[in-house]
């Protein structure tokens, strides 16, 4: 009898492991579909306030309100493409991104000008850089390889775009569609709690993603005004890219700052380093610092406190931990995931002391 129990237990364990393996394999195979659903969910959360406004204030029917919202979102997307693609192509041409030899020559020319400037001030920068062999370690072929991978991915872009728009439409039209799918796996005695959690999560995340849009817009305006005043070439493109990189917490601003300074310096090659390039780069750096100060002490605290009801220090620790565990993806998904977990914990473990402390503002 014991041998039969042991055998059954082994078979059950093997079946469970096999089932989990097959499930993971299946999810891996449909990862693009999961990505479409995730993007559509974010779009529906961004568009949800617009749909609610049209339904409640302007008395639109649900389907018509969703269509109008989708048209607005598509119009904004097309407007961004129409505005930035020509400018990005122009910037790419100016920097000769597809000409590796010219790009390398530009970077080396900039390097010579910088070392000459420091040599005038008795700083032997050239020797230390040569000892590190820094320039020879740069693989300039990564740039066209990246661009080629982007171009090759455009073939499936249209399919992905159609899929995202199609799924987004039905997520907006039937806000309970995703919730109903999840409820399939929830026990009946927990359904009411999950429905309450789902509504709360959608409200909080809608405010959060709309807040992120305003955060990017504020940074974009600050960067654009500053770079235009300083007469930086293709200021709008640089401002938009650097503001967009701010979506990646902590790492994004650093990359954006480096990109802003590098593009400013390379766009002024041929000018006097000490009289033109260095002063302009310094003032561009000041513009970047001003944008980050406004973002860190004004935009982000308002977004976190008003949208996800979390303290900035709490958010910092969550982002830091998820970044260490899951990298860039963890940095970007930390706040939405943490917000959803907090809401669910409050609904189902509201009497727990730790949960009560963490969710007191929800």
Chain segment 100-131, per-residue pLDDT in tens: 565 566 666 666 767 676 666 656 555 655 55
Cβ pair 8, 139 in contact under 8 A? no
Residue 288's pLDDT is 92
> Is the per-residue pLDDT at 168 higher than 60?
yes
The long-range contacts involving 136-139, CB below 8 angstroms and separated by at least 24 positions, are 138/104, 138/107
Q: Which of 9-13, 265-269, 280-284 has the lowest mean pLDDT?
A: 265-269
Residue-level pLDDT at 286: 92
Dist. CA 165–CA 43, nearest whole Å? 9
Q: What pLDDT score was predicted for residue 96?
A: 42
Is residue 141 pLDDT above 60, yes or no? no
Residue 76 confidence class, pLDDT cut points 50, 70, 90: confident
Number of folded domains that form the chain = 1
Mean pLDDT, residues 195-200 taken together: 77
Domain of residue 271, residue span: 186-362
Does some domain include residue 147? no
Q: What is the mean pLDDT of residues 52-77?
A: 86
- Taking the C-alpha atoms of 312, 316, 317 and 321 in order, what is their torsion angle to the nearest 10 degrees? 150
Q: Which of 88-97, 262-271, 316-325 has the highest mean pLDDT?
A: 316-325
Per the domain annotation, does 7 fall within a domain? no
The model's confidence at residue 90, banded by pLDDT at 50, 70 and 90, is low
> Is residue 333 within 8 Å of 339, Cβ to Cβ?
no
* Residue 306 included in any domain: yes
Residue carrying structure tokens 């970044």: 323
* Residue 175 pLDDT > 70: no
pLDDT exceeds 60 at position 144? no
pTM over cut 0.85: no
- Residue 348 falls inside a structural domain: yes
Provide the percentage of residues in the chain whose pLDDT is more than 90: 4
Contact 199, 182 (CB under 8 A): no
Burial of 148 (0-12, 13-18, 19+ CB in 10 A): exposed
Q: What mean pLDDT is predicted for residues 170-199?
A: 71
Q: In this model, does residue 98 exceed pLDDT 50?
A: no
Within-domain flag for 11: no
* pLDDT > 70: percent of the chain: 71
Residue 260 near residue 292 (C-beta atoms within 8 A): no
Does a structural domain hold residue 323?
yes
What's the confidence (pLDDT) of residue 333?
Answer: 76
pLDDT at residue 295 is higher than 50: yes
Alpha carbon distance 252, 173 (integer Å): 34
């Amino acid at each position: 009898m014991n041998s039969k129990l042991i055998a059954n237990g082994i078979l059950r364990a093997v079946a469970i492991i096999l089932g989990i393996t097959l499930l993971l394999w299946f999810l891996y195979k449909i990862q693009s579909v999961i990505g479409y659903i995730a993007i559509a969910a974010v779009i529906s959360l961004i568009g949800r306030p617009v749909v609610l406004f049209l339904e409640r204030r302007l008395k639109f029917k649900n389907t018509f309100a969703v269509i109008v919202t989708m048209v607005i979102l598509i119009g904004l997307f097309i407007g961004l493409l129409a505005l930035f693609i020509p400018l990005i192509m122009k910037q790419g041409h100016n920097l000769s991104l597809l000409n590796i030899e010219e790009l390398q020559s530009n970077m080396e020319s900039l390097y010579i000008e910088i070392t000459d400037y420091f040599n005038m001030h008795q700083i032997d920068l050239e020797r230390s850089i040569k000892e590190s062999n820094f320039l020879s370690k740069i693989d300039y072929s990564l740039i066209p390889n990246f661009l080629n991978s982007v171009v090759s991915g455009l073939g499936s872009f249209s399919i992905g775009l159609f899929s995202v728009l199609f799924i987004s439409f039905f997520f907006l039209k039937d806000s309970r569609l995703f919730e109903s799918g999840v409820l399939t796996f929830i026990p009946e005695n927990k359904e009411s709690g999950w429905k309450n959690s789902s509504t709360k999560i959608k409200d909080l995340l809608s405010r959060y993603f709309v807040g992120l849009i305003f955060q990017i817009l504020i940074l974009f305006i600050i960067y654009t005004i500053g770079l235009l005043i300083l007469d930086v070439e293709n200021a709008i493109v640089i401002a938009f890219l650097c503001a967009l990189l701010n979506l990646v917490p902590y790492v994004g601003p650093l990359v954006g700052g480096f990109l802003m300074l590098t593009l400013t310096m390379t766009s002024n090659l041929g000018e006097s380093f000490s009289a033109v390039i260095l002063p302009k780069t310094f003032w561009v750096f000041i513009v970047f610092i001003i944008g980050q100060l406004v973002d860190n002490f004004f935009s982000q605290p308002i977004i976190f406190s008003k949208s996800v009801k979390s303290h900035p220090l709490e958010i910092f620790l969550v982002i830091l931990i998820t970044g260490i565990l899951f990298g860039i993806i963890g940095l970007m998904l930390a706040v939405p995931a943490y917000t959803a977990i907090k809401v669910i914990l409050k609904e189902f473990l509201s009497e727990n002391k730790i949960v009560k402390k963490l969710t007191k503002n929800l």
